[in-house]
Amino acid sequence: MLHGCTQDAAGYDHGSGWSRLADEQGFAVLYPEQQRGNNANLCFNWFNTGDTQRDAGEALSIRQMVSAIIEVHGIDPSRIFVTGLSAGGAMASVMLATYPDVFAGGAIIAGLPYGTATSIPEAFDRMRAHGGPPAAALGKLVTAASPHKGPWPTISVWHGDSDATVSHANSALIVEQWRSIHGIARTPNTVEKGEGYLRRVWRDAHGHDVIEEYCIAGLGHGTPLNTSGPEACGTAGPYMLEAGISSTRRIANFWGLSAGRAEVTRPRPSTARLSADTSVAAEPYAMRPRSQVASSGVGRIIEDALRAAGLIR
């Protein structure tokens, strides 16, 4: 579970409710936490090439943590998943691309596709869905990130259509990146219109759901929550947003972690032991309320957005 900028592991856990759900359903959770010494804004370095490559930097650190918890707690290595919000969502994209042999699936919340930014100006542009490689090239960024040839992780994508921090257009780019990897058609197999959301599902040749995308109507930048009723999970707060739908519960269901759901697994990854004592570096985009942006001048908007995004200090 990868937190966003300005957040920490405990705060993200409290808001998202993942530990509560883990207690209910009997699975383990791991929360890598950024250190201020690595990034002043507590963001994961999703655009820094030194941290987004296999067996290097931040991606390696997180991989080592996963290896350690598998070994210490005897966890099934074929049922490992990753999710994150904002910067953490972009870092989840990194982990899925660089270690597709480790993760059976991932969920990217208000994040970006892998490998589309390699500098500060590019990162800021991609947050606004400006520029970047053509859609046809997105899948190649993933295949070039590791020697893995498949099978590939399942992907769950969540984004609010009123996100003023990371453009909702990034959701479609993530879907396109992984649709190419899975070799499936552009047209979804299922379209589900719910109260306040639209869900689209793509299936592989065997009829398995491999990609799902949730567009949450009117939602800004944050993790969608349902905080009341029998399906309540999590606590609303900054960037943890009441939406009448629990992304936490639905992601767990998609992964087969909920009772009664088919398990999502992959062939066991390498059991080579990795050290878990490497420091984590991190950082991504801004997580500022829209009202704050509206009160600033153009120059201040750009400067503040870059700073809040972790792109400058």
* pLDDT, averaged across the chain: 87
Structure confidence at residue 263 (pLDDT): 56
pLDDT confidence tier of residue 37, bands split at 50, 70 and 90: confident
Structure confidence at residue 235 (pLDDT): 98
61 in active site: no
Rounded to 5, what percent of the chain is helix, strand, coil? 35, 15, 50
Least confident of 23-27, 33-37, 215-219, 309-313: 309-313
pLDDT for 221 beyond 70: yes
Structure confidence at residue 261 (pLDDT): 52
CB 244 within 8 A of CB 195: yes
CB 160 within 8 A of CB 216: yes
Q: pTM for the whole thing?
A: 0.85
Residues 104-138 pLDDT 10s: 999 999 999 999 999 878 988 999 999 999 999 99
Least confident of 30-34, 146-150, 217-221, 283-287: 283-287
Structure confidence at residue 259 (pLDDT): 74
In the chain, domain spans: 9-308
* The one catalytic residue among 16, 61, 67, 86: 86
Q: What are phi and psi of 209, to 5 degrees?
A: -70, 115
pLDDT confidence tier of residue 304, bands split at 50, 70 and 90: low
Please name the residue that has the structure tokens 């972790």.
Answer: 310
Region 151-166: what's the mean pLDDT? 98
